[in-house]
Amino acid sequence: MSLFLIAALPFLGALFPALLIRAGRNAAAASAGFTTFLAFVGLLLNAPAVLRGEVIQARLDWLPGLGLNTNFFLDGLGLLFAGLILGIGLLIILYARFYLSREDPMGQFYTYLLLFQGAMVGIVLSDNILLLLVFWELTSLSSFLLIGYWKHLPEGRQGARMALAVTGSGGLAMIAGMLILGHIVGSYDLTVILQHKEMIQASPLYLPALILILIGAFTKSAQFPFHFWLPHAMAAPTPVSAYLHSATMVKAGLFLMARMWPVLAGTPEWFYIVATTGLITMVLGAVIALFKDDLKALLAFSTVSHLGLITMLLGFGTKIAAVAAVFHIINHATFKAALFMSAGIIDHETHTRDIKRLGGLRFLMPITFTIALIACLSMAGLPPFNGFLSKEMMLEEAFHTSWMGSPYFIPGLAVFAALFSAAYSFRYIVHVFLGPKRHDYPAHPHDPGTGLWLAPAFLVFLVIAIGIGSNHIVGPLVSVAAGAVIGGELPYFSLKLWHGFTPALWMSLAAVTGGLLLLWLHPRLSKMWNAAPRPEAKVIFDSLLGTLTRASRGVTDALHNGSITRYSAIMVAFTIAISLYAYQSGVASEATRAVQQAGALPVIGWICLVSATGFIVLNHRNRLLALVLIGVVGLIVSLSFNYLSAPDLALTQISVEVVTIILMLLALNFLPKETPVESPLAIRARDAVIAIVAGTGVGGLIYALMTRDFSAPSISEFHLANSYKGGGGTNVVNVILVDFRGYDTFGEIIVLGIAALVIYALTEAILGSKVRAYLLNRKPDSPQDGDPHPLMMVVATRVMMPLALMVAAYIFFRGHNLPGGGFIAGLIAAIAMLMQYMASGFSWAAERQKVYYHGIIGSGVLIAAATGMGAWLAGQPFLTSAFGYLHWAPLEEFEWATAALFDLGVFLAVVGAVMLTLESLARLAWQPGMNSEHAMDINPARDDAAKLKEEV
């Protein structure tokens, strides 16, 4: 099965549970389980090749120029993590079906779960760090939904926000680190980056990249000092906790450290940052876990401790430590998922997770007791269970590792953490299941149905099987996964229970004995723990978040006061500052081009342009005069384009000017004639100084650019050389718009259509309010002409209508080889129809409208999209055009390009957007149902104000 399909299946499956919930809870669970099972089977089909040492790749170049490619690869490490994600995911889906109550929206739960599952699979299969970053942030968002699934619980909402804030912030740091890494290597593909260890570690950017990447890994895997968010995520339903803590969310950080191990490990910086952080986290989590009375809180801090253990092993930087880390990832996933599920069963049946209210459950819940007993003994590191094997490997590596020259520091703290780990594991067994039966349980305990205990029972079966037959059951998987981590030859290792009387064995015996002693002393130690002052992570987090919120609000209120003038002044002033810095710190070459003599015509045009612009600045409060002057500026600009041999731009500019001036005149009809003076003289003086400095700077920059040559070739040379042979047209501008940069044009027509729809929506809101009545009843500023539809204008526009449409068709069809195209043709056609509305009135034109403008916009976008997707049928990228010559009798042979269909979509989108905007603005002054004789058209004024009021 393709890696693309494996990565996509969870996302596709997320669609079904919410849709099938009407068919019942079983249907929703079955759909979620089926898609996960398909992805798991697809993974297993690729497993034999990976176990043979092959690396399976799937590549799709998306934006190769930016290094953003949709590439996936599957090696031993990816197989291990993807197997855990999908395999334990299947068990969680089964468990959740019987755990969640009827009041819980199960379809929503499975949708969130599969989104999260898909994000995790995407992380472990990604072969592009930019793609990995997308999936990384998606895990933060989807876990936010899962942790806050019980929205009615305040602690659930708080835990979700805390997890999102911590892991999301770490993700931002990681993005920066990954981009630095890609910059060092010159590629964003992981398979390329992993081959350049020497280049990366020799770079001066190695340490910043390392720290930033590790921040992302540490926050995701709850390493000190970011460990506090994980226990607060326990407010989520137990299936979520079991999934996040065993195989997914917190394992993502470990995966990242393991994936980057070949290029980042082996330096003192890596050792002291990673190993020390893991060691502190392992000790801290184990100590706190012993004194937690909530079952899930105990397991949460034990997860923190074991994550620290794996991080410490990866931090050692030795090959055998990396093997031990990979092995413990497997073992921890099995016993920790089983333990969380057993805690959920206890909570489900007794209605409490408080250890102080439990005890004696071995008589009442024998199946649950057996499951929890085996999982706890494995977590404590006792033989013959799998946890014992990886714990022995950890202690052995710790024994041979020194820190800052001390050979006792790491071994001593490792034994100390293992001692507390054994203690809290024993406490889980003794205080929950042993002792006499109680008579004050919140609910009568009993073993649940098969649906709840089957999944954890399967996991504890793996705990036993791996412990007894590790070399045969998981040995090959550990080998290929560890080989992917190491990136070289594997050291000798043996996954067996007995290695003789090694230092690790004596350290383990000391830890187990000490754990039993701590359990005996627990009542007294607990009193001391509760009485001792210690910082509360939640209080610190809330205080820090509150401080940051107040600071950001202060900055925001100071900068964002609603004044566009202030925003523009800050932006332009900042631009001037950085431009001045660049000018002073840079070196400008000597001018290489002589200044040409300007003729009389350009000088006259320049004088008109500057004069009109200056008059706009001086008289901008008179809205009508300012609009007329803007039209003059647009006319001069279009003449300049034509003078500089850019007829396409000239046609576009003049067409846009006509359309926008008409629409703006219509909008100004509803606004006061004068803009009030709101800014004081000092503010206006400040703005004038900023504007003069910025204008002078831009003018100087333009002058410098026009008097110098550039060594780098211009992109225009490529367009000129490939316009005809690549796009089938001699009009380079149009070929750029519909072929080379067709994706940009496609986005622009979508934005244009959205803008028209927004205007329509706003006018719809106004039509349902009192604003329209006010607009219709206002008195005109000056006496109005009593003839809203002059006969000469009516006759002229109706005669010009077919001529204008013919010109639009001519401009459209010639656009690929001569100045023109769909955008200009659309504007000309829109102007032709605008003239009908202006001359004959809105109601007259609306009565003859056969097609809604919404549909015209949609048709244009769909035609453009269909043209682009048609290239896929030929195996070409989106919007790749084809062209050739056709001969249709009795016509002569002519050239035809698929880009013409794309241009048709542009044409329709432009016409629809302009006309919908016109219709929206005109409807403010027109009441549906009024005949053309009394309709309020583009000029809604009436001589008789009373008649206006009566019509409203």
- Output phi, psi for 681, to 5 deg: -60, -40
Identify each DSSP E strand in 254-334 by its residue range.
none
| Percent of the chain predicted with pLDDT > 90 | 32
pLDDT value for 114: 94
Q: CB burial class (10 A; 0-12, 13-18, 19+) of residue 134?
A: middle
Q: Other C-beta atoms within 10 Å of 791: how many? A: 9
Helices 129-147 and 249-264: crossing angle, nearest 10°? 160
**Locate tokens 């002409």: which residue?**
785
pLDDT value for 280: 93
**Locate tokens 């399909």: which residue?**
5
CA nearest neighbour of 248 among 112, 91, 116? 116
Give residue-wise pLDDT tens across range 600-644.
Answer: 888 888 898 889 988 888 888 888 888 888 888 989 999 988 888
Q: Say if residue 162's pLDDT is above 50.
A: yes
Q: What single DSSP character describes residue 21?
A: G
pLDDT value for 730: 84
pLDDT value for 938: 39
Q: What is the mean pLDDT of residues 765-789?
A: 65
CA gap 339, 335 in Å, rounded: 6
| pLDDT band per the 50, 70, 90 thresholds, residue 891 | low
Q: What single DSSP character describes residue 931?
A: -
pLDDT value for 88: 93
CB 318 within 8 A of CB 311: no
Most confident of 12-26, 706-720, 774-788, 855-869: 855-869
Q: Say if residue 262's pLDDT is above 80.
A: yes
Average pLDDT, the chain: 85
CB 150 within 8 A of CB 156: yes
CA gap 566, 569 in Å, rounded: 5
DSSP character string of 328-372:
HHHHHHHHHHHHHHHHHHHHHHHS--BGGG---HHHH-HHHHHHH
Q: Which two tokens stand for residue 398?
A: 């710790």
pLDDT value for 668: 79
Q: Which two tokens stand for residue 143?
A: 């876990």
CA nearest neighbour of 14 among 161, 139, 118? 118
For residue 337, what are the CA distances in angstroms to 250, 256, 341?
13, 21, 6
Query: Strand 61-63 relative to strand 56-58: parallel, antiparallel, unpaired?
Result: unpaired
pLDDT value for 619: 85
Helices 106-125 and 129-147: crossing angle, nearest 10°? 160
Q: Is 821 helix (H, G, I), strand (E, B) or coil?
A: coil
| pLDDT band per the 50, 70, 90 thresholds, residue 934 | very low
CB 190 within 8 A of CB 74: no
Q: Say if residue 776's pLDDT is above 70.
A: no
pLDDT value for 800: 87
Q: Say if residue 329's pLDDT is above 50.
A: yes
Q: What is the mean pLDDT of residues 172-200?
A: 90
Residue 215: HSE in the Cβ half-sphere, 13 Å Cα cutoff:
17
pTM of the model: 0.72
pLDDT value for 446: 87
pLDDT value for 929: 45
Query: To 5 degrees, how large is the angle CA 203–CA 205–CA 206?
Result: 70
Lowest-pLDDT choice from 171-185, 362-376, 642-656, 854-868: 642-656
- Output phi, psi for 884, to 5 deg: -175, -175
| pLDDT band per the 50, 70, 90 thresholds, residue 840 | confident
Query: To 5 degrees, how large is the angle CA 718–CA 719–CA 723?
Result: 125
Give residue-wise pLDDT tens across range 35-46.
Answer: 999 999 999 999
Q: Which two tokens stand for residue 83?
A: 């197997």
Q: Is 380 helix (H, G, I), strand (E, B) or coil?
A: helix
pLDDT value for 936: 38
CB 922 within 8 A of CB 838: no
Q: What is the mean pLDDT of residues 428-435?
A: 90
Q: What is the mean pLDDT of residues 881-887?
A: 77
CA gap 654, 639 in Å, rounded: 9
Give residue-wise pLDDT tens across range 142-156.
Answer: 999 999 888 888 888
- Output phi, psi for 685, to 5 deg: -65, -40
Give residue-wise pLDDT tens across range 265-307.
Answer: 989 999 999 999 999 999 999 999 999 888 988 999 999 999 9
Q: Which two tokens stand for residue 759?
A: 């205007």
CB 93 within 8 A of CB 36: yes
Which residue type, as a one-letter code, is found at position 392?
E
Give residue-wise pLDDT tens across range 575-598.
Answer: 999 988 888 887 777 888 888 888
Q: Other C-beta atoms within 10 Å of 922: how many? A: 25
Name residues whose C-beta falls within 8 Å of residue 28's C-beta, 6 or more positions apart in sequence. Answer: 16, 17, 18, 20, 21, 106, 107, 110
Q: Say if residue 805's pLDDT is above 60.
A: yes
CA nearest neighbour of 830 among 795, 810, 805? 805
CA nearest neighbour of 570 among 450, 718, 692, 687? 687
Q: Across-strand partners of 885? A: 895
CA nearest neighbour of 35 among 84, 93, 98? 93
| pLDDT band per the 50, 70, 90 thresholds, residue 69 | confident
Which residue type, as a one-letter code, is found at position 307?
L
What is the per-residue burial (b if ≥16 Cβ within 10 Å, else e) of 334-345? bbbbbbbbbbbb
CB 351 within 8 A of CB 335: no
| pLDDT band per the 50, 70, 90 thresholds, residue 772 | low
User: pLDDT: is 887 or 656 the higher one?
Assistant: 656
Which residue type, as a one-letter code, is found at position 478?
V
